[in-house]
Structure 1
Amino acid sequence: MIRVLGTGAADGWPNPFCACASCESARAARTIRAQTCALAGTFLLDCGPETARTAERAGVALHGVRHVLLTHDHPDHTAPAFLLYRSWVAGDAPLDVVGPPSVIASARQWLAPDTHVVFHEARPGDELTFTDGTVRVLEAAHDGDAVLYDLSTEDTRLLYATDTGPLPEATMAATTDAAYDVVLLEQTFGDFTSHGTAHLDLTTFTEQVRRLRDVGAIVASTDLIAVHLSHHNPPAAELARRLATIGARMVDDGTPLGRGPVRTLCIGGARSGKSREAERLLAAEPDVTYVATSYPRSDDPEWVERVRLHQSQRPAQWTTVESLDLVGLLAHDGGPLLIDCLTLWLTRIMDRHDGWSDEAWADGGEAAVLAEVTALVEAWRATSRRVVAVTNEIGQGLVPQRASLRRFRDEMGRLNAAIAAASDEVRLVVAGRVSLL
């Protein structure tokens, strides 16, 4: 198991001396973020001055730690006094301490020369193999002697990427096709993009996510966590929403990590912004297949213009497929799918089985539509692909006068409910505002 013990920047979040809106919001919610560190089995990644107490507050004992991986010698990431405190109770229990030369030189001063601790000077490109895991040392874009870590244990592969600015090309090459289970990627400065430091903000964070997806380091099943958070970010609720649009999330200190969302349903009324929200969710993905379920040709100029505008707004690297075979697409492995939309899909399925006719509906049409809807829901539930679907909420208006339209409204409501029940998350979009259900 991986547990994120701390998620804050050097001064934590809130900064204890700050009264900005972001800090005051964190205080009101009683959400206190300590300096970033993580525990992965017997591996402790970074150990700052608050790490030990952060672990205690999370109910996590550190006596099982056998390897400490330190990224650099800034005091929020390396507080070597922990070696002294551990020596008072641990006896001869072995411990590996890994870090850049400056970190090791600082840490050695806390222990006698005949210590049971084994120090390992780490440089980018090094690989260290221990009984319970393999550590690959990666280059960081940060001031001074700093590294990042690629850690593989028996059941998890983790990228620990804090502190760093835009990732160096050597690091991108080293993470190619890694398909990490978990990525802890720093995002320090939020919308403050003129900070001029070797850190990431929301703009550069999004670009790093895209690059990591492009080389196969982040895949559909990767749990992407933003860490090293500071009060330069918007308040937590808004930051969580912004991160979610690129497939990342924030967690509280002490959170054990699991798999991120695979299936997302975006639902809303006409012109609510639901398609835009769906596109934001996959904006950092390099190989999205956009599945258009609308009629491919039309003599209606207004409809043709709508389709043209939709197409022009999609990223150039996305592939567009016009298809009703959602079951087949969901069943195959591959990159993320964006399905827009289920309402048009059901419209065409109703056309296929003459579901607008009362006679045809009673004479097998209802059963045929139900079979196709059931197959879609099962494929949605079983898919391993990252998939986002857009659908319309049409049940909140007037009751249609025609029986066929009332039938469609009811079938649409049933389809939406079934897909929502099989989704990892549902996003309701109203007047451009998004709520997680």
Structure 2
Amino acid sequence: MRALVLGTGSADGWPNPFCECASCTWARTSGSVRTTTSVLVDDVLLLDFGPDTPRQASRAGRSLAGLAAVLVTHAHHDHLDPAALLARSWAGPASSLRVVGPPSVVDACEHWIGPHDTVALTAVAPGDVLDLDGYAVRVLAAAHDVGADALTRDAVLYDVTAPDGSRLLYATDTGPLPDATVAALAGSALDLLLVEQTFGTYLDHGTGHLDLATLPGELRRLREVGALTDATDVVAVHLSHHNPPGPELARVLAPWGVRTVDDLTEIEVGAVPDAATAMLPRRTLLLGGARSGKSHEAERMFAATADVEYVATGGSRDGDDEWAARVALHRERRPASWTTTETLDVAKLLLSPGPPVLLDCLSLWLAGVLDASGVWASEPGTAGRAAALAEVEREVAALVDAVRRTTRTLVLVSNEVGSGVVPEHESGRLYRDALGRLNARVASECDAVSLVVAGTVLPLKPGSSAAAP
């Protein structure tokens, strides 16, 4: 099966022609213009038929004369332009065409079909299964209201299996998937998922769409039931200017195994995509100052992964309510399926088998090791201080060796403290120097290193997770 992605944009496309936000300005100046989302499958099936679809097919050099069926998700104007059926009748087609969709789609199309036209309308509902010219099409429920009344609150998704056995799910428009849809996809091992990503960083839209906060949760759900595998090609569609500019969007999506494609991209369904776009580096170090966004970035990298061991090195602080509130906030924003381990014995943990590890953070780990070794209980220049520092060095060396040897996917977070003024006290200078050396040694063992500043991720090392795929 081959899927020609005619358009990848939302209702207003991207850029919105009336908008001058940073995202639209990037799209306009880079020439990255996205039209309303639709997909042509093997020149036989058409998924959605919006106002841009006919011209996009022509730009791709494709005729729509051989279509056997059009599958429409819902009756919103960017997914259905019934006037195209009238244009088809003017060409005097000899073959028949089935237009499939919820009842609101059928209602919208009826008045555009001539009495002698070769168009058949088929109303469907979730659970229906159709055989369309050898393609098995299963209709699934979406979470997307088309209208205010009960008759028009009907939007669906399409699960399509080609005669060659390759399989795709066309999942736009929808908010978080209904439980029945996820259950119906259990064990499906999709080859291609075309999933919507309409609202990006705009999280208060209150609509039946996904954004960068809800998308990874849906990916986790689909992976947990076997709908997605490591071989599934996941492509974000229905994109709007609420997403970050293209390179930043690609960077955010890549750790989740999701990519974007340009309009008029043809995808060979069943071919495994370039691994560079679908996996995390083995070992990643994220550096940044206080409140730079480094912890949030680390959590976001693993947001679509169900099984993660979160290693907290800060410990508990009896009587410190502010610290307890910080810890509680971190816990609340982690997926419920993650496990939390509080330990300073990081080397042993990294060398044991297990799921991916998010370690937050090396700076607190070092503070704990300095405390445990008795550095602060000894005077500078004494044999006691030298012995304590030697113990710290042994712990650091063991940690660095474990980072090098671990077989787990690993994301480490650490503070960058070397850019400020020289600390006034000897203890502050000792800690600053020790953390700087630790960061450098860990960075040398990592495949990717990035600096997070004001929520912006800057790659420092080739292969960094911040690099666009």
**What residue in structure 2 maps to residue 252 of structure 1?**
262
CA distance in 1, matches of 2:229, 2:362: 22
Contact 1:289 1:321 survives alignment (8 Å): yes
Q: Per the alignment, in what secondary structure is the counterpart of residue 184 of structure 1?
A: strand
Inter-CA distance 31–287: structure 2 relative to 1 (3 Å threshold): same
Relative to the length of structure 1, the TM-score reads 0.67
Unaligned stretches of 5+ in structure 2?
Answer: 147-151, 268-272, 374-386, 459-465
What RMSD over aligned residues (CA atoms) do the two structures have, in Å?
5.3
Match for 2:296 among 270, 276, 281?
276
CA distance in 2, matches of 1:281, 1:246: 5
2 CA distance for matches of 1:275 and 1:167? Answer: 28
Secondary structure in 1 matching 2:36 = coil
Q: How far apart are 1:174 and its partner, in Å?
A: 2.9
Task: Indicate conservation of the 8 Å contact 1:245/1:283, yes or no.
Answer: no
SS in 2 for 1:206: coil
Secondary structure of 1:263's partner? coil
Note the residue ranges of structure 1 that are not aligned, 5 or more in a row.
none
Pairing 1:267–2:268 present? no
Q: Which residue of 2 aligns with 1:47?
A: 49
Matched residues, percent identical? 38
- For residue 50 of structure 2, give the secondary structure of its aligned residue in structure 1: coil
Which of 124, 127, 145 is equivalent to 1:125? 127
Equivalent pair of 1:135/1:149 in contact (CA under 8 Å): yes
- AA matched with 2:249: A
1:266–1:389 contact (8 Å) kept in structure 2: yes
Residue in structure 1 matched with residue 405 of structure 2 by the alignment: 375
Q: Over residues 267-323 of structure 1, what are the superposed CA-to-partner deviations in whole Å (9 max), with x where a residue is unaligned?
A: 22342331122124445666543133x386899x99x98687335422372420246
Which secondary structure does the structure 2 equivalent of 1:134 belong to? strand
Deviation, 1:137, is: 0.4
Q: Within 5 Å, give how 1:28-427 maps onto structure 2.
A: 28-41=29-42, 43-57=45-59, 67-79=69-81, 81=84, 97-101=99-103, 103=105, 106=109, 115=118, 120-129=122-131, 133-140=135-142, 141-143=144-146, 144=152, 145-153=154-162, 157-165=167-175, 167-176=177-186, 178=188, 180=190, 181-188=192-199, 191=202, 193=204, 199-200=208-209, 202=211, 206-207=213-214, 209-210=216-217, 213-214=220-221, 216=224, 221=230, 225-231=235-241, 233=242, 236=245, 240=249, 244=253, 247=256, 250-255=260-265, 258=273, 260-263=277-280, 265-271=284-290, 272-283=292-303, 288-292=308-312, 294=313, 309-310=326-327, 312-315=329-332, 317=336, 318-322=338-342, 324=346, 325=348, 327=350, 332=354, 337-341=357-361, 357=390, 372-376=402-406, 379-380=407-408, 388-391=411-414, 412-413=439-440, 415-420=442-447, 427=450
Report if the CA contact (8 A) 2:141-2:180 is conserved: yes
* Cα deviation 1:22-42 (Å, max 9, x = unaligned): 544532332221011124556
Q: Which secondary structure does the structure 1 equivalent of 2:31 belong to?
A: coil
| Aligned partners of 2:363 and 2:435 also within 8 Å | no
- Matched AA of 1:236: P
| Inter-partner Cα distance in structure 1 for 2:71 and 2:234 | 20
- Between the aligned partners of 1:415 and 1:220, the Cα distance in structure 2 is 31
What secondary structure does 2:447 align onto? helix
Shift of 1:65: 6.2
Instruction: Supply the distance in 2 between the matched residues of 1:291 and 1:157 (Cα, whole angstroms).
Output: 38
| AA in 2 matched with 1:30 | G
1:185 shift after superposition: 2.0
- Indicate conservation of the 8 Å contact 1:148/1:161, yes or no: yes
Corresponding residue number in structure 2 for 1:432: 455
- The 1:192/1:63 distance shift into structure 2, 3 A limit, reads same
Aligned residues of 1:11 and 1:230 also touching (Cα < 8 A): yes
Query: 1:240 aligns to what SS in structure 2?
Result: helix
Q: How many residues align?
A: 406
CA contact (8 A) 1:142 1:165 kept: no
**Change in 2 beyond 3 A, CA 1:149/1:29:** same
Aligned residue for 2:380? none
Q: Which amino acid aligns with 1:158?
A: L
Match of 2:28 in 1: 27
Q: In 2, distance between residues paired with 1:157 and 1:349?
A: 52
Stretch deviating more after TM superposition (129-138 or 42-51): 129-138
Looking at structure 1, the residues matched to 308 and 213 of structure 2 have their Cα atoms a distance apart, in angstroms, of 16
Q: Partner amino acid for 1:268? A: L
